[in-house]
Amino acid sequence: MCGIVGYSGLKQAAPILLDGLARLEYRGYDSAGIAVRDGDGEIKVVKAKGRLAVLAEKTDSGKALLGRCGVGHTRWATHGAPSEINAHPHHSDDGNVVGIHNGIIENYKELKELLEKNGYSFYSSTDTEVAIKLIDYYYKKGSGSPIDALTRAMTRITGSYSFAILFKDFPDEIFAARKDSPLIVGVGDDESFLASDVPAILKYTRSVYYIGNYEIAHLSGGKVDFYNIDGERIEKEPSEISWDAATAEKAGYEHFMIKEIHEQPEAVKNTLSSVIHDGKIDLSSVGITDEELKSISTIYIVACGSAYHVGAVMQYVIEDLAGIPVRVELASEFRYRKPVLDKSGLCIIISQSGETADSLAALREAKSRGLRTLAIVNVVGSSIAREADNVFYTLAGPEIAVATTKAYSAQLVAGYTFAVQLAYVLGRIDETKYEDLIAELLTLPEKIETILEDKERLQWFAAKQSSSTDIFFIGRGIDYAISLEGSLKMKEISYIHSESYAAGELKHGAISLIEDGTLVVGCLTQSELYEKTVSNMVECQSRGAYLMAVTTAGNYNTEDIADFTVYIPETDSHFAASLAVVPLQLMSYYVSLAKGLDVDKPRNLAKSVTVE
Ligand code: G6P
pLDDT in tens, 531-559: 999 999 999 999 999 999 999 999 989 99
Cα–Cα distance list, 192 to 13, 43, 44, 202 (Å):
11, 19, 20, 12
pLDDT over 90 percentage in the chain:
81
Q: Sign (positive/negative) of CA torsion 542, 546, 552, 556?
A: positive
State whether the beta carbon of 352 lies less than 6 angstroms from ligand 1: yes
Is a pLDDT exceeding 90 seen at residue 159?
no
Res. 157 pLDDT band, cuts 50 70 90: very high
Q: How far is the CA of 305 from the centre of ligand 1 (A)?
A: 5
| Half-sphere exposure of residue 21: CA atoms within 13 angstroms, side-chain side | 36
CA dihedral 267, 314, 478, 310 (to 10 degrees): -50
3-state secondary structure of 329: strand
DSSP string, 390-425: EEEE-------SSS-SHHHHHHHHHHHHHHHHHHHH
Res. 2 pLDDT band, cuts 50 70 90: confident
What is the amino acid identity at position 27? R
What is the amino acid identity at position 489? K
State whether the beta carbon of 605 lies less than 6 angstroms from ligand 1: yes
Quick one: 144 exposed, middle or buried, by C-beta within 10 A (0-12, 13-18, 19+)?
Answer: exposed
Atom 2 of ligand 1, residue of closest alpha carbon: 607
Q: 212 near 184, Cβ under 8 Å?
A: no
Res. 84 pLDDT band, cuts 50 70 90: very high
Res. 28 pLDDT band, cuts 50 70 90: low
Q: How far is the CA of 607 from the centre of ligand 1 (A)?
A: 6
Which atom of ligand 1 is nearest to 404's Cα?
A: 9
- Entry field: residues in the chain: 612
State whether the beta carbon of 299 lies less than 6 angstroms from ligand 1: no
pLDDT digits 0-9 by tens, 30-70: 799 999 987 667 899 999 998 899 999 999 999 999 999 99
Quick one: 80 exposed, middle or buried, by C-beta within 10 A (0-12, 13-18, 19+)?
Answer: middle
Q: How far is the CA of 307 from the centre of ligand 1 (A)?
A: 7
Cα–Cα distance list, 239 to 111, 203, 205, 339, 606 (Å):
36, 16, 11, 38, 27
Rounded Cα gap, residues 18 and 14, in angstroms? 6
What is the amino acid identity at position 606? A
Query: Buried (b) or exposed (e) across 255-289, using 16+ Cβ within 10 A?
Result: bbbbbbbbbbbbbbbbbbebbbeeeebebeebebe
3-state secondary structure of 1: coil
Please report the pLDDT score of residue 29 as a whole number: 66
DSSP string, 347-406: EEEEESSS--HHHHHHHHHHHHTT-EEEEEESSTT-HHHHHSSEEEE-------SSS-SH
Omega before 445 cis (within 30°)? Answer: no
Is a pLDDT exceeding 90 seen at residue 223?
yes
Rounded Cα gap, residues 445 and 579, in angstroms? 9
Is a pLDDT exceeding 80 seen at residue 242?
no
Cα–Cα distance list, 107 to 104, 112, 117, 482, 519 (Å):
9, 9, 16, 41, 47
Cα–Cα distance list, 143 to 12, 140, 268, 598 (Å):
31, 7, 54, 49
Quick one: 538 exposed, middle or buried, by C-beta within 10 A (0-12, 13-18, 19+)?
Answer: middle
State whether the beta carbon of 330 lies less than 6 angstroms from ligand 1: no
Please report the pLDDT score of residue 82 as a whole number: 78
Please report the pLDDT score of residue 606 as a whole number: 81
**β-pair type (519-524, 546-552):** parallel
State whether the beta carbon of 353 lies less than 6 angstroms from ligand 1: yes
Q: How far is the CA of 404 from the centre of ligand 1 (A)?
A: 7
State whether the beta carbon of 592 lies less than 6 angstroms from ligand 1: no
What is the amino acid identity at position 468? S
Please report the pLDDT score of residue 380 as a whole number: 73
Is a pLDDT exceeding 60 seen at residue 248?
no
Active site residue 2: yes
Which atom of ligand 1 is nearest to 402's Cα?
A: 8
Compute the 3-state secondary structure of the chain and give helix, strand, coil in percent, each to the nearest 5: 40, 25, 35
Task: Determine phi and psi for 551, rounding to 5 degrees.
Answer: -145, 175
Atom 7 of ligand 1, residue of closest alpha carbon: 305
Instruction: Say which of 2, 304, 523, 540 is annotated catalytic.
Output: 2
Active site residue 269: no
User: Residue 575: which of 479, 485, 502 has the closest Cα?
Assistant: 479
Name the residue of 609, 611, 612 whose CB sits within 8 Å of the most ligand 1 atoms, as the mutation to test its pocket. 609
Containing H/E element for 302? Answer: strand 299-303
| Weakest mean pLDDT among 200-204, 240-244, 358-362 | 240-244
Instruction: Say which of 49, 179, 489, 607 is annotated catalytic.
Output: 607
Q: How far is the CA of 113 from the centre of ligand 1 (A)?
A: 35
Q: How far is the CA of 359 from the centre of ligand 1 (A)?
A: 10
Is a pLDDT exceeding 60 seen at residue 1?
no
- Read off the pLDDT of each residue in 301-313 and give the average, rounded to a whole number: 98
Instruction: Please give the distance of CA 45 from its chain centroid, rounded to a whole number.
Output: 30
State whether the beta carbon of 402 lies less than 6 angstroms from ligand 1: yes
3-state secondary structure of 543: coil
Please report the pLDDT score of residue 250 as a whole number: 66
Quick one: 60 exposed, middle or buried, by C-beta within 10 A (0-12, 13-18, 19+)?
Answer: exposed
Please report the pLDDT score of residue 253 as a whole number: 84
